[in-house]
Amino acid sequence: MKRAGIVVEGGIGKHIAFSSLIPKLHEKYGELILISAYPEVFMNNPHVYRNFGFGAPYVYEDYLKDIPIIKQEPYLSNVYRLEKKHIIESFCKLYDIEYSEKDMHNEIYLTEQEDKHCENTTKQSIKSKFILVQFVGGTSYYNPAMAGQKAYTSRDYPMDMAQQFVDEFYKKYPDYKILQVRLPTEPLLKNVNFITNVPARNIFPYMKYCETFVVIDSFLNHVSDVYSKKGIVLWGATDPKKLGYKNNLNLCAGKKCSTPFCHRPETYFFDTVTGGVWKCPYNNMCMNISVNTILSAVDFILKPENRTKIAVDVNTQKKEETNTDETNSLYRPASQ
């Protein structure tokens, strides 16, 4: 039987995107031995022979010393950077496997117990329909103390606007609840339920049971593809064409920034200035997506009977704002 060691680095969202390749990698290389930063993403995957985190003892001696070890990094590739291919397609090109947008989807294999625990929690604690929100990200839950020291804040949604969204959402949907995904060191919104200080794997099934979601470009964006759940993703410095999914409503701030989707700071390419990591000179204006825009997108998902009217209202709003700095791009499709 053929075998290969596969190394995956980076954040948990990147690991979830990588999961879409695993069946094809299994066909190509045989038994897969994964070594990664987030092995919980690959637990129970039937196409993975062995699944380890970094630093697991005797992995090299017992499994890797006599087999090929392969590591590909899309963030360093021109396929991702210059050709602007989606991260999944970039992974495919680097591993020389066929890319299929139609057939490749992110995969997470929960146990029946994990799934049932989440279902019971939502029934017993939340006791109503709910939406998921995540407005801050980019910090590993392995080290939540770093939340206030991260270099990359350009994906975060302003918390005052996030609170305004919560308040306005409850006026329109008083029978729903909002479930905020956050680390214990990240800001907590008022009047929300929240998930905090639990392994990310325990959060995955909430995507399955929510009605929809409003999140930044973080791991829940990638989890949504696992369950084909339609929601709203807020984009600023990162590009939905490279990291988003067509099923979602991918919103950006339109003309508010002259350099949208800049992907800076490019920490993989030493994007530093005197005094530290490059910081946005426009104060992350790209994330100032209006609350009304987000609420219109929520209506589009939660009120399917009114979608024609909502689409007309949205288009009218967009035309009225065309000549202002408040323009938001609505329902911008990702190209993946």
**Domains identified in the chain and CATH numbers:** 3-95 (no CATH), 112-332 (3.40.50.2000)
Identify the DSSP state of 157: P
Instruction: State mean pLDDT over 237-260.
Output: 89
- 51-66: pLDDT as tens digits: 999 999 999 999 999 9
Output the CA–CA distances (angstroms, integers) from residue 36 to 41, 50, 152, 248, 301, in the order listed.
9, 11, 22, 28, 35
- Supply φ then ψ for residue 6, to 5 degrees: -120, 125
Across 100-124, average pLDDT: 93
Whole-number Å distance between alpha carbons of 165 and 294: 8
Bond into 23 cis (ω within 30): no
Mean pLDDT of 136-160: 73
Question: What are 260-306's pLDDT values in tens digits?
Answer: 899 888 878 888 888 788 888 888 889 999 999 999 999 999 998 87
* Amino acid identity for residue 55 in this structure: G
Among candidates 109, 204, 171, 124, which has minimal Cα distance to 299?
171
pLDDT at 28 over 50: yes
Residue 333 has pLDDT above 70, yes or no: no
Q: Which residue has the higher pLDDT, 277 or 105?
A: 105
Assess contact for 159 and 133: CB atoms under 8 A: no
